[in-house]
Each structure stands twice: as structure tokens, then as C-alpha cells.
A and B are shown apart, each in its own frame.
Chain A
């Protein structure tokens, strides 16, 4: 009779120890998990350094769980209360608790025997007798939720996704993806005219005729444009001058020029004005307009002229006494407009090529270079600044070395060729017209390298253009262009792949001269930066980062 009770008592004790063990385990895991999360948060915020190796954290949690379980198992048991709980759970009318009481008293044996008798043959289910407390179940549920959230956080963190900026990361990812697609398209475009592509995107009324006309007239000017000299010339000197001129004509360098976001618009204006001038010239030749009408048209066009030179030329044409003079002035104005257009395209191409070519990480070389029909040098992801500098004897500047170090490496041969062939002065135009300059590709490729590269390489002392207040002059070391360095310095977010490519493939620097020590004098062209930002449709926060970066390296 007593054995039945003793069996039941033993099972109750064992069940209670198991429950205490689980409770201790839960407590240990919870404490360890909370401590681990606090530690990881401190690491994430930069207060602490991550422990090495990482499995120490796992071991810590396991150890805490073991300690908690052991402590729980050794905890004292209030057996009579548990027996009472079993009585209540199984409807035993408190017999177990009473028997325990009588056994402790060592008296009332009559009642004890009678109660033993009434327990005869009773078999209990320990799980049903002492169920797992609801509070413990809720605690485990909370612990599991916390562990799941922590795992998600850590997973995102380890794969480089900022857990607390997930939505922004996703937005930037989609933006960078579309920008990447756009970049690939532009680079594969034989025209390789990202500016024109941006113009197409933002100005839906760009007509085929104006582009064709621009292309036809542009080609005639292209060959004679100092911006796109064939190989063999001293590209640095001439191209610097032409770059300045191109920039001026393109209105980018001029203080009057509208910011990057309006470049596409000004180019459309130029094309429109060019078209109107062409039509006017044809009407003049055909004699369809009277002198007064011609003067009035010329005055109207002069008011809308994008640059003072064109305006002046148009006004002179309007004041001309004879048609021949008028026609000549119109031709001159058209030429100026064409040059401006060409300069704008070349600058945009060069920036595009620079961006696509110069990435430190790279490999992003430009599909443009390949698509440019051999413009690989052009696209020349031109890191090879160093080689350029060296070959040109420009004193490979430390920045050039850095460029080399950042390395795209791909262009070293091209750079050498370029350097031997003399660099195109108009680096900023370089990426632009590669298709037609395949032979000059290497040199143009050099040219297409960032203006900064060309500047650094050539060390040309092109003077600054007047009125280019928008530019910032800095002298000295080239920007690092190193993605990791920028990221570690907090200048770039971890996930700005597009931004990194933008920064490392094209440095909007102009070489404006050379110091007495032989170090290149660089000039930061902020308008080119804005052009690139507009082209890539970067989010506002990344645009600010890019601007800040260039300002920082320019010493602003």
C-alpha cells in the first residue's frame, strides 16, 4: 500500500526536477541571449569590437544554458505543494498531500493506513499531474521570438544589408539596378552619348531630325574640332585648351551655365537653335525672307542664344548689310553651336567613360570600351593614370600611383600607348566618340579617362577659362578612389555599388597646370559631378554624399 504512494511521490519529484531544469535552462538562455544582443548592438553601433572567433558567442550561450539547467535541477523542491497540485489536477481529494503530512508527523497511523488503502492501485500521469506552466510556455515563446528576430538581424548584418535601413537599401538597390541597366545600355550604344540618352529620357520632344542634323553637322565639325584631335598630337595641351573651350561653349564651365540638371535642356536648346539657324540660312539662300524679316528673326534668335559668342554672331548677322555677309555670319553661328554641342557630348562621354572605367575594383570596364569599337583604351578604364604619367614623364604623381593602386589595371597597355601617342587633351570628351576614333582609341581612351587622370598624366598647364567660377581648384594628391577606403571612412554606404562605380571610374577633375615641383594642378568640375548625378538618377542622399566627397577631396 505504501509502495503506491512512494511510486507516485518519486514520479512527482522527477517531474518537478525536470520542470525546474527547463525553467533554469530558459532563464540561462534568456540572460545569455539578452547579453549577446546587447553586445552585438554595441558592436553594430561601434562601441565595441566583434569578438574573434565568432563562435565564442555561441559557446557563451551554450554555457549559460548549461549553468541555468544545472542550477534549476539542483533547486529545492516543495514536495507537499507539488503533491497538492497533483491532487488538484487529478482529483485525488488531497490524499497525497495528507499522506505526506501524516508521514511527516509520524502519527495518526490509522488514518495513514486508511489513506494508503484508498490509493491502492492508483497510477498517475506525471505530465498531466504537473503540466508545464503557462507562464513558462509564454516565456519560451517570447524567447523564441527574440531569438528569431536576433537571427534575422544578424543574418542581414552579415550579408551586408543594413538591418535598420532595409527599406532604404532596397530603394537604392532598385535605383542602382536601373542605373546599372542604363549604364550598360549607354555603354553599349555605338553613339555612346549618355548625355543625349539623358536628354532623350528627360525631354521627350527631342526630334529625330534635330539629332540627325546635329549628328551630320557635328561630324563635319568633329574632325576639325580641337576637342577630338587625331592621335599624334599633344593631346594634353590642345585638349586642355579645347576642353576649356568645349566646356565654355557647352556652357558647363561658364558661370552662366545652368547646373547639371539643365545641361540636357541647354543642349536641346542648342539643337533647336541650330535647327532654326539652318532653316533660316536655307530661307536666306532661297530668298524667301526679306531683310527686315531676317533681322527680326536674327534678333529673336540672338536673345535666345545660349552663349555670348553666338549671340554676338547673330546680332552681327542681323546688322549685316548684305545677304552674303549675313549668310556667313549664320554659318559662323551654326559652327559655334555645333562646337558647343560637340563639347557637351564629349564632356559627358568623357565623364561617363571615366566613371565606367576608373573604378578601383573594377572590373567594370566599360562595355563602352568594347562597344566603342575598339575603344577599349578609351574607355580605358583608365586607371592607368600612373602609366600615363610615367610615360609622359609628368612625374607620376602620387595620385597617379594611387590611381594605379586602385587599379583597374586593364588599361595599362592602353595607357602606355596613349601616352606614347600623346593624350587627347579632351579627356572629358573622351568616352564620347569612340566609335569614330577607333584608331585613336587608345589615346582617346586615355583622353576618355577622367579629366583628372589626363590632367595628372599630362601635367599640362592649361589656364583656367575665364568665368568658370563653378570650378574648384585643388592641387595635390589625387583622390584615393579606393572603394574600401571610402567605405571604411564612412564616406560611402556599404551598398552603394553604383556610387562606387561612379566615383572610381570618373573623377571630374581638370588639369589646369603644373606646379613648380612638377605636381599637377587639378581643378574639380562640380558641374560634371552634377551631370553624372542627374544621369544616374541617384537618390538625394547619395547625391549629397557624392558632392561632399568631391568637395572633401578638393579641399573645400
Chain B
């Protein structure tokens, strides 16, 4: 099959997937697009929003529509790593011989919802984050690989600080995107209410819209999408501009940023732009693709200094100036 046909077919699948998601989720278009980009890039997503915005519903819907195994982990302070990864269980066979059998934890799903990840202890958080990074679980002397596609959608509640364990910056950096959910508009809220007139629960889609094989094919196509050298250099300039000691750093970065983005940010920009171009039916990465995914890709990778935090300068404001001041060529 010609490339264009393959691309067209794959893009059509994801268009259908998007439409199906919107059948369940009202609004959150940018959130959904971000999640799909992460899905196509194999990256993990950190969703931040107040309770009741539909984060869990989104993930459950996505799992249903993709025909993938879905697991939800509710993080609590007493959650142990074994509760996430699994543990060895002592088993006895018919002959009475005892052996240990590894019982897989919820991490072994394709789509994992780590709800309120900041409520678990750092030890538990690290167990999850290790699995996210390594795409495998090591228990005892054995390593268990996680089946592709594997995506973790972690959520955080920004208003609850009591009894929480904020993720360390090094751990937050492992997430591909950080997507901030906003309140629905009045029209969207009205739409939600209309849909819940007759049932308090949302009706999940009956069948998958995209198979696992189609998703893997889409990932292969995304990987092949070319990017021109000037755009690659543009990504480099953007990442460099987030460092306060850089010459091209804008004033807000120089004034309020302690540490800039890591090379992971550049990788996220590169792959995210490819996935965004794919979802728009393009054959190549464009400048607009980079600009559209710039905020979700970098907002969790910038560390403000004390003055920035004290004055309440938003990271988005800093990144917006980076985007405006950095020349395209």
C-alpha cells in the first residue's frame, strides 16, 4: 500500500476515535488531542485538574475505544509499590509443592490511570515512575516487560495540598505532556447535563474504534514523518531559550527561571510535532505543530526560582514569552 494511502487510512481511524471520544466527553478538545498525541508517541500524560472534570472518564473511554486493557490505580498514602507492580504469591500445586507466582499488578495494563498520584508516598511513586520509564517491572530477580502500547495517565489535584507528596521534578520530567484541564464552558456544562438527564452514569462506547494493530501502525507512521532541518533548529532554539543563562533567553526566563528544560523536552517537542502533523493529515512537520504542543510539552519542565514563585509568575506566561521572542529561522 502506498504511503499516502496508509497515512490516510490511519489518520481516518484517529479521526473516528476522536469523534467517538467526544460522544462521551463534552469539551476538552485540547486535552483529548494531547492524550492522543501522547498515545501515538508512546509517552505518558500528567493530567492536572480539580475533581469532577472527567479525567477518569476520559481515560476509561479511551481504554474502551482502543480495545486495550485499562487499569485504574487510586493512589493513597498507604499504597504500597506491590499494589502497583504486583507481588509474588506463594502458591501450592496439586502435589503440594509450593512455589511463588508473580501476580501482576495493575501496571501491566495498556492504559493505566494513576489517580491522584501525588497522594502516594515517594516510594510508591518511584515504583510507578520506574515502570513508566523502563516499560518493565523488576520483581526479585525477574523483569517483566510491559506490553505495548503502554501509557500512564496520572492525575493531580492542584487544590489539595494537605497530606500530599508532590512529585519531584526529576519524576515529573518523565511525563511526556502535562495537560491542565479547565472548567467546561456554560454551553459544555449544559451539554453534560443534557446527556445525563436520563442516567447519572455515562454510557461507554460499545465497541473499540481503533484496534491495537491500527494504533501500532499509526505509531510507525508517526515515526516516519519527516521534519526539516530549520524546524529542528527551531526546536533547539526554543529549548535553549528556557535556560536563564542562555543569550537568547527572554527577560522573564532570565528573571524567574531557576532551571530550564532538559533534552527530554526537545524530544517531546519533536515527537509531539510529528504526531500533531499526523493527526492533521500532514506529510511533514510544520512550524504550527511545534507551536501547538509547546506548552503541554514544557510547562512541567521549567523550575521557577524563589522570586518567580513568590511573585506568582505562571509558567505559562514565561513559556509564552519564549515562544514569542524565539525567531523561527
A interface residues (Cβ-Cβ under 8 A, vs B): 80-81, 84-85, 88, 93-95, 97-98, 100-102, 108, 110-111, 113-115, 117-118
A81-B230, A114-B4 given. 13 additional CB < 8 A pairs? A80-B229, A84-B228, A88-B329, A93-B282, A93-B286, A94-B284, A97-B231, A98-B228, A98-B283, A101-B227, A110-B2, A110-B224, A114-B7
Q: Is B129 an interface residue (CB 8 A)?
A: no
Known contacts A80-B229, A98-B228, A100-B228; is A93 also within 8 Å of B3 by CB? no
Question: Please, which residues of chain A bring their CB within 8 A of the CB of B285?
Answer: 94, 98
Interface string of B254-266 (1 = CB under 8 A from A): 0000000000000
Is the CB–CB distance between A88 and B226 below 8 Å? no
- Nearest CB on B from A85, distance (A): 6
Residues of B near A84 (CB, < 8 A) are: 228, 230-231, 328-329
Number of A-B contacts (CB under 8 A): 62
B180 at the interface (CB under 8 A from A): no
Residues on B close to A: CB < 8 A? 2-4, 7, 224-231, 282-287, 328-329
Do B227 and A88 touch (CB < 8 A)? no
Q: What residues of chain A lie closer than 8 Å to B287, measured between beta carbons? A: 88, 94
Q: What is the bound-complex CA distance between A289 and B2, given in angstroms? A: 141
Specify which chain A residues have a CB less than 8 angstroms from the CB of B286 in the assembled complex. Answer: 93-94
Are B284's CB and A98's CB within 8 A? yes
Q: Using known A-B contacts A114-B3, A114-B4, determine if residue A97 contacts B228 with beta carbons closer than 8 Å.
A: yes
Are B283 and A115 touching (Cβ within 8 A)? yes
B225 touches A97 (CB 8 A): no
CB nearest neighbor in B for A98: B284
**25 A-B pairs, CB-CB below 8 angstroms?**
A80-B230, A81-B230, A84-B228, A84-B328, A84-B329, A85-B329, A93-B282, A94-B228, A94-B286, A95-B283, A95-B284, A97-B228, A97-B229, A97-B230, A98-B226, A98-B227, A98-B284, A100-B228, A101-B227, A101-B228, A101-B229, A111-B225, A111-B226, A111-B283, A118-B283
Partner of B224, one of A94, A98, A111, A113: A111
Task: Report the bound CA distance from A88 to B286 in whole Å.
Answer: 10
Q: Contact check: which of A101, A110, A118 meets B3 at CB < 8 Å?
A: A110
Give A86 Cβ to nearest chain B Cβ, in Å: 11
Closest CB of chain A to B258's CB: distance in Å? 34
- Docked Cα-Cα span, A101 to B283, in Å, equals 13
Chain A residues near B283 (CB-CB < 8 A): 95, 98, 111, 114-115, 118
Q: How far is the CA of A88 from the CA of B288 in the complex (A)?
A: 10
Question: What CA separation (Å) do A458 and B282 show in the bound complex?
Answer: 111
In order of increasing CB-CB distance, the 5 nearest A-B pairs are A110-B3, A97-B228, A98-B284, A84-B230, A98-B228
- Asked whether, in the complex, the Cβ of A94 is within 8 Å of the Cβ of B231, the reply is yes
Interface of A is mostly: helix
From A88, A110, A111, B284 is in contact (CB under 8 Å) with: A111
Instruction: Write the nearest CB–CB distance from A379 to chain B, whole angstroms.
Output: 81
Say yes or no: B226 contacts A101, CB within 8 Å.
Answer: yes
Q: Are B226 and A108 in contact (CB under 8 A)?
A: yes
Give every chain B residue within 8 A of A110 (Cβ-Cβ). Answer: 2-3, 224
> Chain A CB within 10 Å — which of B2, B283, B284 has the most?
B284
A102-B229 Cα distance, complex, nearest whole Å: 10
CB distance from A79 to the nearest CB of B (A): 11
CA distance A80 to B329 in the complex (A): 10
A residues within 8 A CB of B231?
A: 84, 94, 97
Complex CA distance for A117 and B285, rounded to whole angstroms: 17
Question: Chain B: which residue is nearest A110 at the CB level?
Answer: B3
Most buried by A among B226, B227, B231, B286: B226
Q: In the complex, which of the residues A81, A98, A115 contacts B329, with contact meaning CB atoms closer than 8 Å? A: A81
A108→B3 CA distance, assembly (Å): 10
Please determine whether B224 and A108 come into contact, CB atoms closer than 8 angstroms.
yes
Residues on B with C-beta less than 8 A from A94 are 228, 230-231, 284-287
A88, A97, A108, A114: residue with the most chain B Cβ atoms closer than 10 Å: A97
Residues from chain A with Cβ under 8 Å of B328 in the complex: 84, 88
Residues of A within 8 A of B4 (CB): 114, 117
Query: What is the distance, in angstroms, from A301's C-beta to the closest C-beta of chain B?
Result: 91
Contact of B226 among A81, A102, A113, A117 (CB under 8 A): A102
In the complex the two chains form, what is the Cα distance from A114 to B329 in whole Å? 25
Residue of A nearest to B283 (CB): A114
Question: Could you tell me the distance between the alpha carbons of A102 and B284 in the complex, rounded to whole angstroms?
Answer: 11
The chain B residue sitting closest to A85, CB to CB, is B329
Task: Report the minimal beta-carbon distance from B293 to chain A, rounded to whole angstroms.
Answer: 16
CA distance A85 to B329 in the complex (A): 8
Q: Is the CB of A111 within 8 A of B228?
A: no
> Which residue of the partner chain A has the closest CB to B232?
A101
Q: Give bound CA distance, A111 to B229, whole Å.
A: 16
Q: Which residues of A contact B3 (CB under 8 A)?
A: 110-111, 113-114
Nearest Cβ on chain B to A228's Cβ, whole angstroms: 92
Q: How far is the CA of A273 from the CA of B3 in the complex (A)?
A: 123
Residues of chain A with a CB closer than 8 A to B282's CB: 93
B278 → A minimal CB distance (Å): 12
Smallest Cβ-Cβ distance to A118: which chain B residue: B283
* Most chain A beta carbons < 10 A, residue from B2, B3, B225, B283: B283
Q: Which residues of B contact A111 (CB under 8 A)?
A: 3, 224-226, 283-284
Distance, CA A88 to CA B282, complexed state (A): 16
Give the complex CA separation of A111 and B3 in angstroms. Answer: 7
CB distance from A8 to the nearest CB of B (A): 15
CB neighbours (8 Å) of A97 from chain B are 228-231
The CA of A14 and the CA of B218, in the complex, are separated in Å by 40
Nearest A residue to B6 via CB reads A110
Provide the bound-state CA to CA distance between A113 and B226, in Å.
13
Distance (Å) between the CB of B4 and the closest chain A CB?
Answer: 5
In Å, the complex CA distance between A101 and B287 comes to 15
A99 to chain B, nearest CB (A): 8
Q: Give Cα distance in the complex from A113 to B5, angstroms.
A: 13
**CB < 8 Å: which of B224, B229, B230, B284 contacts A115?**
B284
Q: Contacts A80-B229, A101-B226, A108-B224: A93 and B329 contacting too (C-beta < 8 A)?
A: no
Closest to B230 in A: A84
Supposing A88-B328, A93-B282 touch, asked if A80 and B226 sit within 8 A by C-beta, the answer is no
* Shortest distance from the beta carbon of A105 to any chain B beta carbon, whole Å: 8
Residue of A nearest to B277 (CB): A93
Q: Which residues of B sit under 8 angstroms from A98, Cβ to Cβ? A: 226-228, 283-285
**Closest chain A residue, CB of each to CB of B234:** A84
Give the shortest distance, in Å, between B224 (CB) and chain A (any CB): 7
